[in-house]
Every structure is written in structure tokens, then in C-alpha cells.
Amino acid sequence: MSEKERMVAGRLYIADDPELKAGFVRKAKLLQAINRLDWDRVEERMGLFRELFGDLGEGAYIEHTFHCDYGFNIHVGKNFYANVDCVFLDVAPITIGDNVFFGPRIGLYTPYHPIDAEVRNQQLEGGLPITIGSNVWFGGNVTVCPGVTIGSNVVIGAGSVVTKDIPDGSVAVGNPCRVVRAITDADRAYWQQKAAEYRAEVAAEQG
């Protein structure tokens, strides 16, 4: 196996490798262009993100600045939004569903390093995939650790450090992040009513 194949498979690998260096340079050039673009050159910026990522669905919008390790390991669904200063370390695959909203400074970190210093000093490292479902909202400064799966219809509170899987339909917060309650039919009814009130107010204001 090549070092890149070992990396993507979640096995120990060494990043000091010509193929991986070429991928890093490709990423660096694309990110330099992305992060230097004027804020209103949206179509050009998102086109560069589509070149950088493995997949990026329709309706995606990513603020700059943004950083990642390679880009090709990032797969994102439709209607994705990421606020400023997000960092996706994608030595292993990062998969994100539809209608996912990220606050500022979200860190998705797939890499891991051996606990034993002697092995670590040999430049051996690895990565484990991160998977995030659909209809998910992260508050600001959330960190997701290697190998974590977050279900669909989930809210992760600001400042959380997610070290273990989070099930569907949950509100989870804290360091380490823990489920504090389920998202219920009462929640849905409350927010549907608030949305209906908003639409009625706007219609009244417009005459």
C-alpha cells in the first residue's frame, strides 16, 4: 500500500511522502486563493471549494478563512454552511450530510498520534473518519475528535469537545460532550409555531 492508501484506510502511515506532499501543495495553493478572495466573489470561492473537496453539494456556503489538511477527503452534502475560521483535518474521510450549519471555529480532527513517544517520534501517525448526519447544527468552537459519528437531527452546544458518538435526535453539550436531552415533538411544535408567527408578521408588514 502507498502511504496515501494507508492514511485513508486509517492505518499508521508517514506523511513525509512524495504523493502526500503533492496533495498538500495542491491544497495549499487552493486555500491561498480561497482565503485571499474578496468576500463578495462568492461563486469563484465556492468553485475553488468544489475543486478542493471530494464532494460539495448545491447550496453550500463557506466563509473564509478556512483550513484543511488535503481537501480530497472531505465530502459535504447540500445546503451546508460553515462560519469563519473552521479547520477540517482530513487525513481520514470527513463526511457531512445535508442541511448542516456550523458556527465559527469548528474543528473536525481525524488525525491521531501514538501515545508512545518513541513510536510517535518515528513520524508514524494515523487517522479515523468523522461522520456527521443531516439536519445538524453546531454552536461555535466545537471540536470533534477522530472516529466520531454524529447522527442526524442533532444540536451540539458551543464549546463542546465531542469524543464519542452522538445519536440521532439529540441535544448534546460539554467537555466531554454528552447528550442532555432528546429533541421532542414539543420542540418541533414550538418552533413551527414561531416560524408561523414570523411569516404572519412579515405578511402583515408587507400589507
DSSP secondary-structure letter at 96? Answer: E
- How many angstroms separate the Cα of 32 from the Cα of each of 69, 77, 88? 13, 24, 16
Half-sphere exposure (Cβ direction) of 3: Cα atoms closer than 13 Å: 14
Q: Decide if 64 is catalytic.
A: no
| Neighbouring C-beta atoms of residue 41, cutoff 10 Å | 12
CB 124 within 8 A of CB 111: no
How many Å is the Cα radius of gyration of the chain?
19
Beta bridge partners of 198: none
Active site residues: 113
